[in-house]
Amino acid sequence: MDDIVFIGDWIKDRLLGSGSFGTVVLWRHKNNDQKLAIKTCKWGDELTTKHRERWTKEVEMLQHCNHPNIVGTIELPPEFLTGLERANPSKLPILCMEYCSGGDLRQVLNKPDSCCGLKEVQVRKILKDLGSAMKFLHSNKITHRDLKPENIVMCNSGPNTDQNQSKITYKIIDLGYAKEIDSNSICASFVGTLQYLAPELFYSKTYSNSVDFWSFGLIAFEIMCGTRPFLPNKAPVEWMPVVKKKTHDVICVYETFHNDINYSKEIFPENHISRPLKALIEDWLRVALEYDPKLRGRDAPSKVTFAIPLEDKGTNAASNVVIFSLLERILSKKIIKVFSVTTLSHIAYQIDDTTTILTLKSWIAEDTKIATDNQTIISQMTYIDIGDEEFVIKYWNDTSTVMLFVYNKRLMVDDNSAPIVPKAVQRCLELHKGLYNFKNSQTLYRNAFYFVISQMDIYDAVINGIYSRAESLKQESKLLLVKHNTTDKNLGRLLAKVEIVTKMTELGKNHIESLKENGVGTNFLGGFGKTFKNADDLVEKTQKLQTAWSQLTVRLQSAARRSNEGISNELNSFVAKYNYQNMFTNAYKTFTSHKKTDFFNDNREKERQCPEIVKLCYDCLKLRSKILQELQHQQFLLKLKDLSTEFSKITEIVSKATENTDRLTSDLSSLLDEFNNCVWSTISVVVRDADNVADLPYSVVSFQKRDFKIGESVSNHCSPVPNELRDDSIKSLISESLTLRQNHGNLCDKLEMQKKLLQQTIFDFSFLSDNNP
């Protein structure tokens, strides 16, 4: 087939893969750039009838398996039937498939930065796609039997604008490749596939589709940890007897530094999976990696069943297959990922639609020891300090590594935060001249590279968190200005009303003084003194509030101007000077160089020192310490601290000023009501007790012409007085009555003043002072 380069308008691009029986070649159309992956059988008459049947069944299965996570078939262009006749000596059907340009999962796992597993977003996507494909196959009574990373390919289906990277779909290939498995075919497929085969395929003549559950579990563990769970450095004949002894809860068996066998109920701690998802997946792995095939993948691993059901038989079955439904439930869980900028730590929590920010703060307080009152939570979506009553689900995004940032109001970044160092790295730092065999050196290099990657991720999150805080302070200043302007308008209305009251009281005081000078009618005006005093107090309080408010306005405008100056340039300069790029490059080179080294191949138990990786780990810790120290003295960080404190104080002051403005406005309304009541009460007394209508001002009483009749009194209040009654006696009685009334009024005023003093609210504006802490 090597000599066949052109077939019609199709051009041979390259060889994609070659297996025991088939060869897959990529063909490209010269006009429209369409690509096809065409698989042909490379054998001829030497093929057995069984092999021919297996090939034909694979072609038939692929043609009938229409699923987005199973590689699809395409109708073979007719020119290939004749063009590939020489390359297809077996005359078996030619398989034409869609081309998946992303390579296979093994290529991803072989990357140095995948040495301790993939990122959580990628893990969730792989498990979702792979689980969907396997569920489809099993529902159609198809068992793959050769599930492994090499048989999982990636298809780029277009740009993902949210993450600015390719959106990848994972698809299964090679259906039916090991469909007919017996002892002979197992031996024929040993190379590259044994580590993912279920144990029963080695020692039993019968098996069910639960063999796929085992392979699925191994792949899930490997994409999370970068290595297989069961003694990955040993052959199946070595690890199977050891794994057979494990209990149901055990999902990992490994050799310690001193070559002891350790059974673990958890995945390796060096991974990129959040704590909630880790716990859920570990429960799922216990189901998938059950050693007994009769119990594997089922909901009752403790029950003993003697039949090996191929599928769920319903209520009559001893147990039900739950591996796919359980995985679906796990992947449907919503996990909010938070980065604590102060403690430099990634934290995550499982949430639902009713989880509030206040609840989230209580969880964060337990993990970071930052009190809920001192927490500020910000989303990169809005850059606004999120209120306690909001729902967390609003900020959940399953494609984000960090969904929320949390800050301590009193401390931006704690330079005393201790890093999480893998045990292997701790050992090499404590015993820098220690000796390592092949297995232990592999663990050390993997964990060291993971440590560098994790520190780089933390650093990136810190920088993003600082930038987000700067943007949030801009938003906070805008919101404060809006709140300030609202209060300012209300204060302006209050001042306008106070000005009216001030003029009214001035006129009233002047009028009363004039009456006192003339000695006329002052007995009726005793209640106005209290009203005028209350008005003076209210005016004094309003003037103090106005003065303090003017100072606050200047203070807020200054803070808002500083927040809008931004810190991007200063932050970029710092990142350019201090970063992990060189550290990552050195770690990458050291790790790849170690993988290519063959000095352990002759004697894997021979022990040697690893000085280059020890130095790398030491330099990583040194760089981390240097960055944290330098951060504390950076102007942009000091600026954010000051602005955060300033806005916190201004927010409190504006709230109190708003409250006082509303209270003074309410007091002013009460004062006006009291003043009006006093005026009209006085008018009523004057009208009732006046000697003559002529004594009343026109504004108090007015008569129409029709109300006057010749020979009659002009007021119904006038009573005929006998002529013999002396005017002196009448005046004396009136004077005594008025004196008693005035004394009574004064006594009432004193009692009212005492009562007011007990209830009076003291307006203290000292909190508006710049010296107030």
Residue 307 lies in a domain: yes
Residue 203 lies in a domain: yes
Among this protein's residues, is 367 annotated catalytic? no
Average pLDDT for residues 669-698, to the nearest whole number? Answer: 68
Domain edge (last residue) among 70, 99, 128? 99
Q: Is residue 488 exposed (0-12), middle (13-18) or buried (19+ Cβ within 10 Å)?
A: middle
Amino acid type, 522:
T
Instruction: Give per-residue pLDDT as tens, 528-587.
Output: 777 888 888 889 999 999 999 999 999 999 999 998 888 889 999 999 999 999 999 999
Same structural domain, 303 and 428: no
Amino acid type, 342:
T
Which has the closest alpha carbon to 471: 382, 594, 361? 382
b/e 90-109 (16+ beta carbons within 10 angstroms → b):
bebbbbbbebbebebbeebb
Amino acid type, 570:
E
Report the percentage of the chain scoring pLDDT > 90. Answer: 47
- As for how many domains the chain has, the answer is 3
Q: Token pair for residue 291?
A: 């050693």
Residue 760 lies in a domain: no
Number of H helices, E strands in the chain: 19, 13
Amino acid type, 610:
C
Residue 71 belongs to what domain range? 1-99
Cβ atoms of residues 424 and 448 within 8 Å: yes
Q: What local confidence, expressed as pLDDT, does residue 305 receive?
A: 43
Which has the closest alpha carbon to 216: 228, 202, 206? 228
Phi, psi of 218 (to 5 degrees): -60, -45
Q: Token pair for residue 458?
A: 């933390």
Q: What local confidence, expressed as pLDDT, does residue 270 receive?
A: 95
Provide the pLDDT confidence category of residue 48 given band limits of 50, 70 and 90.
confident
* 25: CATH: 3.30.200.20
Same structural domain, 77 and 61: yes
Same structural domain, 324 and 389: no
Q: What local confidence, expressed as pLDDT, does residue 2 receive?
A: 61
Same structural domain, 207 and 228: yes
Report the percentage of the chain scoring pLDDT > 70. Answer: 81
Same structural domain, 311 and 381: no
Domain edge (last residue) among 43, 71, 99? 99
Q: What local confidence, expressed as pLDDT, does residue 765 receive?
A: 54
Distances 441 to 32, 111, 599, 622 between C-alpha atoms, Å? 50, 18, 12, 22
Rg, the chain, Cα only: 43
- Rounded to whole angstroms, how far apart are CA atoms 437 and 606? 6
Average pLDDT for residues 316-333, to the nearest whole number? Answer: 86
Q: What local confidence, expressed as pLDDT, does residue 165 receive?
A: 43
Total residues found in the chain within this entry: 773
**pLDDT over threshold 70, residue 280:** yes
Amino acid type, 434:
G
Residue 46 lies in a domain: yes
Same structural domain, 370 and 400: yes
Cβ atoms of residues 124 and 398 within 8 Å: yes
Instruction: Give per-residue pLDDT as tens, 372-407.
Output: 999 999 998 889 999 999 999 999 998 889 999 999
Q: What local confidence, expressed as pLDDT, does residue 729 receive?
A: 61
Provide the pLDDT confidence category of residue 459 given band limits of 50, 70 and 90.
very high
Higher local confidence (pLDDT), 39 or 53: 39
- Rounded to whole angstroms, how far apart are CA atoms 147 and 654? 65
Same structural domain, 219 and 307: yes
**pLDDT over threshold 70, residue 601:** no
Q: What local confidence, expressed as pLDDT, does residue 600 receive?
A: 46
* 355: CATH: 3.10.20.90
- 3-state SS, residue 188: helix
Same structural domain, 223 and 270: yes
Higher local confidence (pLDDT), 217 or 21: 217
Same structural domain, 318 and 389: no
| Least trusted range by pLDDT, from 92-101, 583-592, 705-714 | 705-714
CB-based contacts of 738, cutoff 8 Å, min separation 6: 523
**pLDDT over threshold 60, residue 275:** yes
* 122: CATH: 1.10.510.10
Same structural domain, 264 and 407: no
Instruction: Give per-residue pLDDT as tens, 138-180.
Output: 988 888 888 999 999 998 876 543 443 458 899 998 775 434 3
Residue 397 CB coordination number (10 Å)? 16
Same structural domain, 209 and 289: yes
Residue 394 lies in a domain: yes
Provide the pLDDT confidence category of residue 717 given band limits of 50, 70 and 90.
very low
| Least trusted range by pLDDT, from 6-15, 28-37, 708-717 | 708-717
Same structural domain, 341 and 449: yes
Distances 369 to 83, 290, 538 between C-alpha atoms, Å? 71, 39, 46
Q: Which residue has the tokens 């009251």?
A: 501
Q: Considering 104, 113, 129, 146, which one is annotated as catalytic?
A: 146
Q: Token pair for residue 546?
A: 């106005």
Question: What average pLDDT does the chain have?
Answer: 83
Residue 523 lies in a domain: no
- Rounded to whole angstroms, how far apart are CA atoms 666 and 497? 11
Average pLDDT for residues 664-676, to the nearest whole number? Answer: 86
b/e 207-222 (16+ beta carbons within 10 angstroms → b):
bbbbbbbbbbbbbbbb
Domain edge (last residue) among 99, 129, 159? 99
Residue 29 lies in a domain: yes
Cβ atoms of residues 56 and 92 within 8 Å: yes
Angle at the Cα of 67 (from 61 to 70), degrees rounded to 5?
65
Cβ atoms of residues 658 and 666 within 8 Å: no
Provide the pLDDT confidence category of residue 707 given band limits of 50, 70 and 90.
very low
Residue 593 lies in a domain: no
Instruction: Give per-residue pLDDT as tens, 410-452.
Output: 889 998 889 999 999 999 999 988 898 888 999 999 999 999 9
Q: What local confidence, expressed as pLDDT, does residue 190 receive?
A: 36
**pLDDT over threshold 70, residue 182:** no
DSSP 230: B
**pLDDT over threshold 60, residue 764:** no
462 membership: H or E segment, kind and range = helix 438-518
Q: What local confidence, expressed as pLDDT, does residue 661 receive?
A: 92
**pLDDT over threshold 60, residue 750:** yes
